[in-house]
């Protein structure tokens, strides 16, 4: 599988994992303190070939994703479920721990940012679905992020991400229905 876009990752180990899974070029941010030089390289990459942001499914990874998306609008996004990125031994979560299959799957389900906001799904919908507040909210958001392939977010970020990636109300409710069915069988 060859990827035309340049994939932005956090570090060298992520690059190695990506290149085991697909033929692609990467730009490494070397952590969450992204310097101006790296941002300029990402801007050039986006202009020439396109960019896919593929950071770790953790707080620092989301911070890097948000920083790049704000400074380089119009990037594509690939998300890896947290359980696919857990280290086999010890602590740690990251792209470098993911299997070839998990990386390929994430890169097959890339989302593109858009300036057109999907207004279908409201905060009230999220509240009624138990995705904001309540004892099951975090677990439901994690599962929703997996099913829709948009990664895990807090409630406020979930609403923004659903809108940004134009997730339809139908796709949202289909995923929610699956979550509720899974909860009822546990």
- Spatial distance between the Cα atoms of 69 and 74, rounded to a whole number of angstroms: 7
Domains of the chain: 1-113 (3.40.1360.10), 116-186 (no CATH)
Measure CA of the first residue to CA of the last residue in the chain; give whole Å.
37
Most distant CA pair in the chain: distance in Å? 51
The CA radius of gyration of the chain, in Å to the nearest whole number, is 16
Give the pLDDT of residue 2.
94
pLDDT of residue 6: 97
- Whole-model pTM: value is 0.74
Per-residue pLDDT in tens (0 to 9) along the chain, 186 residues:
899 999 999 999 999 999 999 999 999 998 888 999 999 999 999 999 999 999 999 889 989 999 999 999 999 999 998 888 888 776 788 999 999 999 999 999 898 876 555 567 888 899 999 999 888 999 999 999 999 988 888 887 898 888 878 888 899 999 999 999 999 887
Cα 11 from Cα 61, distance rounded (Å): 11
Q: What is the spatial distance between Cα 58 and Cα 22, in angstroms, rounded to a whole number?
A: 23
């Amino acid at each position: 599988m060859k990827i035309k876009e340049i994939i932005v990752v956090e570090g060298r180990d992520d690059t190695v994992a990506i290149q085991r899974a697909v033929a692609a070029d990467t730009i490494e941010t070397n952590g969450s303190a992204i310097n101006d030089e790296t941002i300029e390289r990402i801007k050039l990459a986006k202009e020439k070939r396109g960019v896919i942001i593929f950071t770790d499914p953790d707080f620092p990874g989301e911070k890097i994703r948000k920083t790049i998306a704000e400074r380089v609008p119009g990037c594509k996004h690939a998300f890896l479920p947290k359980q696919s990125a857990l280290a086999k031994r010890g602590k740690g979560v990251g792209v470098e721990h993911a299997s070839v299959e998990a990386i390929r799957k994430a890169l097959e389900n890339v989302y593109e940012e858009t300036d057109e906001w999907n207004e279908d799904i409201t905060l009230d919908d999220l509240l009624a679905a138990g995705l904001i507040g309540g004892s099951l909210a975090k677990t439901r958001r994690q599962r929703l992020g997996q099913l829709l392939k948009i990664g895990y977010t807090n409630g406020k970020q979930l609403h923004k991400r659903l809108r940004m990636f134009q997730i339809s109300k139908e796709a949202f409710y289909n995923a929610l229905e699956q979550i509720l069915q899974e909860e009822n069988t546990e």
